[in-house]
Chain A
Amino acid sequence: MFHLRVNGETRMVHEGSTLSEALDQLGYRGKQFAVAVNGTFVPRHRHESYALKGNEALEVLAPMQGG
């Protein structure tokens, strides 16, 4: 297991997880989120190949429609 900082909270995911696997473990499966790793957004099509090292800061956010 390794640590991630997810929206400001410390969370654990399996060691060697890709970004997409980490999102599944964190309960974000199947939803349309934008995800930034260490302050920079990673395009959605790269989530599956994006290898996490541990201790990254993730910002997971949903779009808002209100105006």
Chain B
Amino acid sequence: MTLLSTEELIRYSRHFNLDQVGVEGQERLKNGSALLIGAGGLGSPLALYLAAAGVGRLGIVDFDVVDRTNLQRQILHGSAGVGKPKLESARARLRDMNPYIDLELHPVRLTSENALDLIAAYDVVADGADNFPTRYLVNDACVLTGKPLVSGSIQGFEGQLSVFNYRGGPCYRCLFPSPPPPGSVPSCAEGGVLGILPGVIGCLQATEVLKLLLEIGEPAAGRLLLYDALSLDFNQLRMERDPQCALCGDNPIITSLVDYEDFCGSGQTDNDPVVEIQPQELVGMLDKVLLVDVREAYERLICKIEPSLHVPLHRLADHPWPESGDRTMVTYCKTGIRSADAARRLHAQGFNDVRSLAGGMMAWIDRIDPRQEKY
């Protein structure tokens, strides 16, 4: 007798001639479970392939909605899903992909309060988060609940992959004991990412998940894979559990989940407040101020405020600034975060009257110029 129905036997038949899978392995997958953190770039191929392969219980945690800028790489979602929860398009696509698995969709933000319970309910966790606080939270929760973590991350043309916390192997903190200073490592939105890249890394993660569930091959535990799409280099570096690791070491200091926004410094507000200007105020002063757009060139192709000088944030320091005299300088970006940073830096460079447009270009379109396209 087998757990698998005739329909399933036919569906999964290409697995059966593989010695490492077979009917028995397929039953293992059906009895197995995996939790995906995020239904984004990495989560898309992870979910699609793990569902197709017949992982019996597939959980996905995501609270985000589909944005048009996601569609270049997040292939779980389509144009019709824009503006709707990611888990809604995930449900439709995965149900169609494989109706013989249980989908458990968790429309919540993963937090220190819910992470242990969520993660404890699955055999394997795969991380496709897009921020450091969540990456540390997932790692810590996996160590505290004893679950293997298939970790992938991407940026630009490069990706990293490893299996953490597996059979005495290292955890994410053995490699990166503390996070980089906030703002020093770009997100996909800030730094850009080749659309196919999460497909490559996400498929490798899905493969590792299957290997763990089937207990076959050599999982990437104790190894960090570096992938460079431009050079087509796959490089592996070895690592061991650090006996002094604060989390998984011999004398752990971290024995429960902490506040990860605080740990990563991303929740902290800057001590140096920025003077803001509201769109309604700026509209009457456009001819008097020096307006500086600190966004990237492509963003100006979508929408902009004229007249404005274009100096991307990373070029502020070496831009040949004119003598501004007593003119007020106003910086703007998409939502007001980069422009506040720019205002702070320009103030430090000696400009006395620098203000940041509150709410950025998006607020400007909402309140002043609704004919322009938001993004």
Interface residues of A (CB under 8 A from B): 31-32, 34, 36, 39-41, 43-45, 59, 61-67
Task: Offer 22 A-B interface pairs, CB within 8 angstroms, sorted by A.
Answer: A32-B180, A34-B224, A36-B238, A40-B237, A40-B238, A43-B177, A43-B245, A59-B235, A63-B132, A63-B176, A63-B179, A63-B185, A64-B153, A64-B158, A64-B160, A65-B132, A65-B155, A65-B187, A66-B41, A67-B40, A67-B41, A67-B188
* B131 surroundings in chain A (CB, below 8 A): 65
**Do residues B176 and A32 form an inter-chain contact, with CB atoms below 8 A?**
yes
Contact in complex: A62, B185 (CB < 8 Å): yes
Which A residues touch B153, using CB under 8 A?
63-67
**Are B175 and A64 neighbours in the complex by a CB distance under 8 Å?**
no
Mask, B173-190, CB within 8 Å of A = 1, is 011111111001111100
Check B237–A65 contact: CB distance below 8 A: no
Given A67-B40, A67-B152; A45-B244 close (CB under 8 Å): yes
**Known contacts A36-B237, A65-B153, A66-B193: does B176 contact A43 (CB below 8 Å)?**
no
Return chain B residues, CB-CB under 8 Å to A43. Answer: 174, 177, 242, 244-245
CA distance A43 to B175 in the complex (A): 7
Query: For A62, what are the chain B residues with a Cβ–Cβ distance below 8 Å?
Result: 180, 184-185
Within 8 A of A (CB), among B103-128: 127-128
Q: Which of chain A's residues have a CB closer than 8 A to the CB of B185?
A: 62-65
- Measured in the bound complex, the distance between the Cα atoms of B184 and A5 in whole Å is 24
Considering only CB atoms and an 8 Å cut-off, how many residues of chain B contact the other chain?
A: 46
**Closest residue to A41 on the B side, CB-wise?**
B239
Instruction: Tell me if B42 counts as interface (CB < 8 A to partner A).
Output: yes
Complex contact B244–A64 (CB within 8 A): no
Residues of chain B contacted by A41 (CB below 8 angstroms): 175, 224, 237-240
- Bound state CA distance, A45 and B128, in angstroms? 28
CA distance A64 to B160 in the complex (A): 8
| A66: B residues at CB distance < 8 A | 41, 130, 153-155, 186-188, 191, 193, 198
B130 x A65 contact (CB < 8 A): yes
Cross-chain contact B184 with A31 (CB below 8 angstroms): yes
Roughly how many angstroms separate A40 CA and B241 CA in the complex, as a whole number? 12
Taking Cβ atoms with an 8 Å cutoff, the residues of B that contact A are 38, 40-43, 127-132, 135, 152-155, 158-160, 174-181, 184-188, 191, 193, 198, 224, 226, 235-240, 242, 244-245
Q: Is the CB of B180 within 8 A of A67?
A: no
Q: Note all chain B residues with C-beta closer than 8 A to A34.
A: 175-176, 224
The distance in angstroms between the C-alpha atoms of A66 and B180, with both chains bound, is 14
- Distance in angstroms from A45 CB to nearest chain B CB is 6
CA distance A40 to B236 in the complex (A): 9
Cα distance A7–B70 when bound, in Å?
31
Contacts of B240 in A (CB 8 A): 40-41
Bound complex: CA A43 to CA B244 (Å): 9
Contact status A64-B155, CB under 8 Å: yes
A63–B161 alpha-carbon span in the complex (Å): 11
Interface centre among A31, A61, A62, A66 (most CB of B within 10 A): A66
When the two chains form their complex, are residues A64 and B179 in contact, meaning their CB atoms are under 8 A apart? no
Would you give the shortest CB distance from A23 to chain B, in whole angstroms?
14
Contact A64 B159 (CB under 8 A): yes
Pairwise interchain contact A44-B177, C-beta atoms closer than 8 A: yes
A8 to B153, CA, bound (A): 22
Residue of A nearest to B233 (CB): A8
Contacts of B184 in A (CB 8 A): 31, 62
- With a CB–CB cut-off of 8 A, which chain B residues contact A44? 177
Cβ distance B110 to chain A, nearest Cβ, rounded Å? 12
List residues of chain A with CB within 8 A of the CB of B193.
66
